[in-house]
Amino acid sequence: MDNIVSEIDGYVFIEKGQRCSDCGEEFIAEKDAQRTIEVAKKLGIWPQPLKLHRSLSKSGRGLVLRIPADLEKDLKLKPGEAVSISKVGNKIVIEPEPTSETQV
**pTM score, whole prediction:** 0.45
How far is it, in rounded angstroms, from Cα 26 to Cα 4? 7
In CATH terms, 57-96 corresponds, of 2.60.120.10, 3.30.70.270, 2.10.260.10, 3.30.43.10, to: 2.10.260.10
Domain ranges of the chain: 2-43, 57-96
Q: How many CA atoms lie within 13 A of 30 on its CB side?
A: 0
Start-to-end CA distance of the chain, whole Å, equals 38
Return the higher-pLDDT residue of 50 and 103.
50
How far is it, in rounded angstroms, from Cα 88 to Cα 39? 28
Any bridge partners for residue 17, and if so which? 2, 28
- Interval 15-56: pLDDT, tens: 999 988 888 889 998 899 999 989 998 998 887 766 777 888
The pLDDT-based confidence of 101 (bands split at 50, 70, 90) is low
- Interval 58-74: pLDDT, tens: 999 999 888 888 788 87
